[in-house]
Copies of this chain bind each other. A is one copy, B any other.
Amino acid sequence: MSTTTITTNADQESVTAPLLSAHRSIPNSTSQVAIVGSNVCPIESLDYEIFENELFKQDWRGRGKAQIFQYICTKWLLCFLIGLIVSLIGFCNNLAVENIAGMKFVVTSNMMLERRFGMAFLVFGASNFVLTLFASIITAFIAPAAAGSGIPEVKAYLNGVDAPGIFSFRTLVVKIIGSISAVSSSLLVGKAGPMVHTGACVASLLGQAAGIAAAFRAPVGGVLFALEEMASWWRSALLWRAFFTTAIVAIVLRAFIDLCLSGKCGLFGTGGLIMFDVYSANISYHLDDVPPVLALGVIGGILGSIYNFLLEKVLRVYNLINEKGIVYKILLACSISIFTSCLLFGLPWIASCRACPADASEACPTIGRSGNYKKFQCLPGYYNDLASLIFNTNDDAIRNLFSKDTDSEFQHSSVLIFFITCFFLSILSYGVVAPAGLFVPVIVTGASYGRLVGMLVGSHSNLNHGLYAVLGAASLLGGSMRMTVSLCVIILELTNNLLLLPLIMLVLLVSKTVADAFNGNIYDLIMKAKGFPYLEAHAEPYMRQLTVGDVVTGPLQLFHGIEKVGNIVHVLRTTKHNGFPVIDEPPLSESPVLFGIILRAHLITLLKKKPFFIPAPDRTGMDSLKQFSAVDFAKRGSGNGDKIEDIALTEEEMDMFIDLHPFTNASPYTVVETMSLAKALILFREVGLRHLLVIPKISSVKISCGGYIDKARFHARTYIKFAPFAGKEQVEKIKISISAYG
């Protein structure tokens, strides 16, 4: 059988998921595709379509009430476990960071107190360096998929794009440990994104909501974040289950915090469930506060879009460096660490020492890790306001920026320097080979920007500078992440200040609108830079001008209901499609008829079990059904499926036949070839499809001129030729028809 051995080796190199192949022809994205695409697993793990074949029907009929009950219980138990595990991880994560980073600042501050500045810098820089090195080494060598935020990967996964190894156990472990050391190393990176990824690792579909709940102690916001930002396809049952999971997280976290209040957690803060409490009983603001807040929103939107723009550019440069090898990756991370240490230690020297206020509510100056008035290099009775922000953990810096009754604490120059530092440092830090979130960096940058605006507005406003910092954080989040309801609730849950809600809504509204005029949201940009073919929910205008017939994948690969094994193996080896139409032709049926669609994964399972036969009147293919149970075809975890190359078949087996009927989805979604691409896109997204069969308009013309449309088609703009005026032929046809009719 010469056909079955064609160019297997050459193929192996170019095996990419079909949805990625389309991207190859788009200029500038080839290198990114190569990173992801070269070993993307061709198994589809997110096919939401109910796959109705004989096996499925038998399985469903065979299920008793007890089994269904057991199934439901298992699902809820799983949700409970996810919540429990994620909250445990989240708690340990916070505990570790607070203790490691806290210890570092305590030791350094004590040296500063003894005025051994050189030694202090050495300890500070060295510990940062070691921590970064450790994070980057484990990420680069053990689990490269653990680098970065993880939110774009999770979002793409929920859209059906399965990057290699993003949910493996290795990734989980590296993500947790790497995130702890990267955040502790004073790199300006966040912990929320990695926590979301961790949650998603723990439960590849539901965990994402649990992640943000644990990272930020914002349970309802977490559910909404999952809903608004992540899910391509959402069901109300999922909302209810996500709520359950986050409720578990909230309750367990609350219990742990209770435990810590009794002082058993070392340097872990004594803060409650609210991370940055800015509650004040009577915030009064009036119409004259609206103009500065509006301005803050507009500038925040512009800053947000610049942030996104720069981050994407830096990521592209980093990608070029990272591609050169693991050593370059680690070198890049280390140099960013050294640069950060120098900045954090060096910049506070610029600021002049200020005398402690007489009526300060806190100790001044403070020595150690937190507190509003850091001593740094100053003499007793004086404090360094820039050090209070910059020589601190991010959480404490945010707390200082959000604090009320501290309007005279900071100098204009200090806040400005801090803002500029954060803005650029967070952009430079994100792309290094270590787990790194974006939420905290954006909040800290936005808070300093907001505080600066508050200081400039000064006494013209009824709002204190801390509240301006909250609004600034909201505006930069809105300008960068572009979410609305979930950000609103997250900010609410973080700051516990409900009276501010109308202003927060206003700021989010303005900043998102302004930023949307320039570019897309940050996760989408990162996804694009990574080459993930994310399918947007809305149709582009050009899609209205095209019909699905214009973009069907060709040449179409068909199988017959009773197919030769050799043909199947050949087609699987030479194409990258994940689904194949199955047709019955005469003499099996009166005329060619589309029987259904069969998946690559199912074909491979069939080839492994070998229910082959040589056609004979006394032998039918239906026996093969008995060899299988639904479990054989159950959806595998990401990347666990077999590959066609792993299956060895003899020459005799290649010549045998296989009956595909019982394993074929006999009721696939189909559309006529004249449907506009825009309309097909809606069907695709709303029902959560991976394949869509396109059938010809004239039903009596033989079926093989029908086509097959897959996800990549919506992306493959370069493949698309603009259709001629579609009405013309129809006019002709109808004209002829009418004359004939007449």
A737 and B235 CA atoms in complex are apart in Å by 41
Is A496 on the interface with B (CB-CB < 8 A)? yes
Question: Nearest chain B CB to A155's CB is how many angstroms away?
Answer: 13
Cβ contacts A to B, 17 pairs, < 8 Å? A49-B679, A52-B679, A224-B224, A247-B506, A273-B498, A489-B489, A492-B492, A493-B498, A493-B501, A561-B737, A584-B737, A590-B701, A615-B741, A619-B738, A667-B676, A667-B679, A669-B671
* Residues A683-705 near B (CB distance < 8 A): 683, 686-688, 695, 697-701, 703
Is A268 on the interface with B (CB-CB < 8 A)? no
Q: Are B505 and A698 in contact (CB under 8 A)?
A: no
A219 and B287 CA atoms in complex are apart in Å by 19
Q: Are A251 and B738 in contact (CB under 8 A)?
A: no
Question: Nearest chain B CB to A91's CB is how many angstroms away?
Answer: 14
Q: Are A485 and B220 in contact (CB under 8 A)?
A: yes
Is A735 on the interface with B (CB-CB < 8 A)? yes
Query: Given that A499-B274, A667-B672 are contacting pairs, would A594 and B247 also be in contact in the complex, using a CB cutoff of 8 Å?
Result: no
* Residues A49-106 near B (CB distance < 8 A): 49-50, 52, 54, 57-58, 60-61
- Residues in chain B near residue A272, CB distance under 8 A: 499
Q: Are A258 and B236 in contact (CB under 8 A)?
A: no
Q: Are A220 and B699 in contact (CB under 8 A)?
A: no
A501 and B727 CA atoms in complex are apart in Å by 59
Q: Mark A221-242, 1 if CB is under 8 A from B, else 0.
A: 0011000100000011101100
Q: Are A562 and B741 in contact (CB under 8 A)?
A: yes
Query: Given that A492-B220, A700-B699 are contacting pairs, would A52 and B502 also be in contact in the complex, using a CB cutoff of 8 Å?
Result: no
Question: Nearest chain B CB to A411's CB is how many angstroms away?
Answer: 31
Q: Are B54 and A727 in contact (CB under 8 A)?
A: yes
- Residues in chain B near residue A243, CB distance under 8 A: 484-485, 488, 505, 508-509
Is A325 on the interface with B (CB-CB < 8 A)? no
Q: Are B676 and A738 in contact (CB under 8 A)?
A: no
Query: Given that A247-B502, A258-B286 are contacting pairs, would A737 and B50 also be in contact in the complex, using a CB cutoff of 8 Å?
Result: no
Question: Nearest chain B CB to A677's CB is how many angstroms away?
Answer: 11
Is A617 on the interface with B (CB-CB < 8 A)? yes
- Residues in chain B near residue A527, CB distance under 8 A: none
Is A740 on the interface with B (CB-CB < 8 A)? yes
Question: Nearest chain B CB to A245's CB is how many angstroms away?
Answer: 10
Is A2 on the interface with B (CB-CB < 8 A)? no
Question: Nearest chain B CB to A32's CB is how many angstroms away?
Answer: 26
- Residues in chain B near residue A253, CB distance under 8 A: 502
Is A678 on the interface with B (CB-CB < 8 A)? yes
Q: Are A697 and B659 in contact (CB under 8 A)?
A: no
- Residues in chain B near residue A246, CB distance under 8 A: 505
Q: Are A250 and B505 in contact (CB under 8 A)?
A: yes
- Residues in chain B near residue A10, CB distance under 8 A: none
- Residues in chain B near residue A281, CB distance under 8 A: 279
- Residues in chain B near residue A727, CB distance under 8 A: 54, 57-58
- Residues in chain B near residue A224, CB distance under 8 A: 224, 485
Is A177 on the interface with B (CB-CB < 8 A)? no
Q: Are B734 and A561 in contact (CB under 8 A)?
A: yes
Question: Nearest chain B CB to A344's CB is how many angstroms away?
Answer: 32
A687 and B666 CA atoms in complex are apart in Å by 21
- Residues in chain B near residue A700, CB distance under 8 A: 590-593, 699-700
Query: Given that A501-B250, A502-B251 are contacting pairs, would A562 and B697 also be in contact in the complex, using a CB cutoff of 8 Å?
Result: no
Is A670 on the interface with B (CB-CB < 8 A)? yes
A230 and B98 CA atoms in complex are apart in Å by 43
With beta carbons under 8 angstroms apart, the residue of B538, B620, B688 that contacts A237 is B538
- Residues in chain B near residue A671, CB distance under 8 A: 667, 669-670
Q: Which residue of B lies closest to A241 (CB)?
A: B484
Q: Are A679 and B220 in contact (CB under 8 A)?
A: no
A615 and B538 CA atoms in complex are apart in Å by 43
Q: Which residue of B lies closest to A76 (CB)?
A: B513
Is A576 on the interface with B (CB-CB < 8 A)? no
Give the one of A223, A237, A502 with max B CB within 10 A.
A502
Question: Nearest chain B CB to A235's CB is how many angstroms away?
Answer: 7
- Residues in chain B near residue A258, CB distance under 8 A: 286-287
A182 and B168 CA atoms in complex are apart in Å by 60
Q: Are B499 and A621 in contact (CB under 8 A)?
A: no
A223 and B587 CA atoms in complex are apart in Å by 59
Is A115 on the interface with B (CB-CB < 8 A)? no
Is A173 on the interface with B (CB-CB < 8 A)? no
Question: Nearest chain B CB to A183's CB is how many angstroms away?
Answer: 25
Is A742 on the interface with B (CB-CB < 8 A)? yes
Q: Mark A199-237, 1 if CB is under 8 A from B, else 0.
A: 000000000000000000001100110001000000111
Q: Which residue of B lies closest to A687 (CB)?
A: B686
Is A731 on the interface with B (CB-CB < 8 A)? yes
A281 and B687 CA atoms in complex are apart in Å by 46
Is A649 on the interface with B (CB-CB < 8 A)? no
A730 and B678 CA atoms in complex are apart in Å by 36
Q: Which residue of B lies closest to A742 (CB)?
A: B615
A686 and B689 CA atoms in complex are apart in Å by 12
- Residues in chain B near residue A675, CB distance under 8 A: 52, 667
A492 and B496 CA atoms in complex are apart in Å by 10
Is A254 on the interface with B (CB-CB < 8 A)? yes
Is A244 on the interface with B (CB-CB < 8 A)? yes
With beta carbons under 8 angstroms apart, the residue of B58, B244, B538, B737 that contacts A562 is B737
